[in-house]
């Protein structure tokens, strides 16, 4: 059997996996885990790749199919187009003409109408111009930029929970104050220091709930603990050891750099971009533009951003960055391998 026919079958299997995963609202890995026979490696690479990069893929498609956005497309049309974008952007050994012709054939086989092949060809031809010959290739990546909270650091709720239990407060008593606006934005954009934010949280807790001491509330917030994702830190270390530039861009307080020193990871990153120091926070497009131009000095299309929040990923994409949403350390490693980032961990 020739490579071309094998890959054609792999593409068909990938579309089927993507459709099943989409209908169940799960990652294709979850679908594969329940199969008696593991599909072809190229089928898995395509299916997993589409899922890992779906936000950016849909962002691309919506720019070229603005009269028929992705969310309005028939499910199978959407899967075929997503696969086509992924293959064009990341499988550089496959000629763009082959990517297009194979996607058109898939559109004819699985598409919702007789016009699907033409629709697929029209969109993917423009995508090919962008990612293969234009100014928006997905690689090489010059800087990998990590979010801090939710990616490298995960906050625990033990101190908050204990405080609420001790004062017989509702489960959202602390969070509803700490993350209320404009208080939260003031802390993240540096209009309040970390200590001032904590003091205001304590003051408002005491004002809203009898028996709560403002200073105790302040101290509780300052003592909130976290855990480090050692697997993600290991990935960052591997990238740096391979000569890859790595950075942090975090919505954070004025304590971020001190906290990173406590974690022992401050020296791991070439650049630390703290929203409270630049006065701009994610997902504001202006924040990403500032970081690219004024802090990193790198063209946006050479930046890869990894964040746990969908809206922040979209903000980065709107600013011209490449971006993916954090799923797991293994998922990050797969993305880095796919984009040929030096130091990307080998699959385990």
pLDDT per position as a tens digit, 196-225: 999 999 999 999 999 999 999 999 999 889
Give which of 252, 319, 323 is closest to 281, Cα–Cα: 252
Report the share of the chain in percent with pLDDT over 90: 91
Which helix (H) or strand (E) element contains residue 307?
strand 303-307
Burial of 306 (0-12, 13-18, 19+ CB in 10 A): buried
**pLDDT tens per residue, range 288-347:** 999 999 999 999 999 999 999 999 999 999 999 999 999 999 999 999 999 999 999 998
Full-model pTM: 0.94
Question: pLDDT (tens digit, 9 = 90+) per residue, 155-209?
Answer: 988 899 999 999 999 999 999 999 999 999 999 999 999 999 999 999 999 999 9
Print burial letters for 266-282: b (CB count within 10 Å at least 16), e (below 16).
eebbebbbbbbbbebbb
Average pLDDT over residues 128-156: 95
Which residues, listed in sequence order, are joined to residue 226 by a DSSP beta bridge? Answer: 155
Answer for the pair 332, 345: CB distance below 8 angstroms, yes or no.
Answer: no
DSSP 163-212: HHHHTT--TTHHHHHHT-TTHHHHHHTTSS-HHHHHHHHHHHHHHHSTT-
Where residue 238 falls (left for φ over 0; alpha for ψ -120 to 50; beta otherwise) is: alpha
CATH numbers and ranges of domains, the chain: 3-133 (1.10.940.10), 143-151+227-338 (3.40.50.1000), 157-224 (no CATH)
Burial class of residue 159, CB neighbours in 10 A (0-12, 13-18, 19+): middle
Q: Which pLDDT does position 188 carry in this prediction?
A: 98
Query: Which pLDDT score, from 0 to 100, does residue 157 have?
Result: 84
Of the CA atoms within 13 Å of residue 254, those in its CB half-sphere come to: 12
pLDDT of residue 4: 52
Tokens of residue 194, six digits = 């970390």
pLDDT digit string (tens) for 224-246? Answer: 899 999 999 999 999 999 999 99
**CA–CA gap between residue 37 and residue 43 (Å, rounded):** 13
């Amino acid at each position: 059997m020739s490579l071309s026919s094998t890959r054609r079958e792999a593409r068909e299997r990938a579309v089927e996996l993507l459709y099943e995963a989409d209908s169940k609202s799960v990652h294709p890995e979850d679908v594969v885990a329940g199969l008696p026979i593991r599909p072809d490696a190229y089928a898995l690479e395509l299916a997993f790749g589409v899922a890992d990069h779906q936000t950016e893929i849909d962002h691309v498609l919506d720019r070229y199919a603005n009269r028929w956005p992705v969310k309005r497309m028939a499910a199978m049309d959407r899967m075929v187009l997503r696969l086509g974008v992924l293959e064009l952007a990341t499988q550089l050994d496959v000629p763009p003409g082959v990517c297009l012709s194979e996607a058109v054939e898939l559109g004819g086989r699985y598409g919702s109408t007789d016009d699907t092949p033409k629709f697929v060809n029209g969109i993917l031809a423009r995508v090919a111009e962008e990612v293969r010959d234009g100014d928006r290739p997905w690689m090489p990546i010059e800087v990998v930029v990590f979010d801090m909270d939710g990616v490298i650091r995960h906050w625990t709720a033990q101190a908050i929970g204990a405080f609420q239990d001790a004062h017989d407060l509702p489960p959202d008593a602390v969070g509803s104050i700490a993350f209320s606006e404009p208080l939260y934005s003031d802390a993240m954009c540096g209009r309040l220091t970390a200590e001032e934010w904590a003091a205001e949280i304590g003051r408002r807790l005491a004002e809203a709930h009898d028996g709560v001491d403002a200073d105790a509330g302040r101290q509780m917030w300052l003592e909130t603990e976290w855990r480090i994702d050692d697997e993600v830190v290991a990935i960052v270390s591997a990238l740096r050891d391979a000569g890859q530039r790595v950075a942090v861009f975090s919505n954070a307080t004025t304590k971020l750099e001190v906290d990173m020193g406590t974690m022992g990871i401050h020296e791991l990153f070439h650049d630390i971009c703290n929203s409270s120091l630049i006065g701009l926070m994610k997902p504001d497009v202006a924040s990403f533009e500032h970081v690219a131009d004024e802090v990193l000095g790198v063209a946006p299309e050479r930046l890869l951003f990894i964040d746990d929040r969908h809206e922040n990923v979209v903000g980065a994409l709107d600013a011209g960055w490449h971006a993916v949403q954090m799923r797991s350390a293994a998922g990050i490693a797969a993305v880095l391998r796919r984009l040929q980032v030096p130091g990307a961990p080998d699959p385990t």
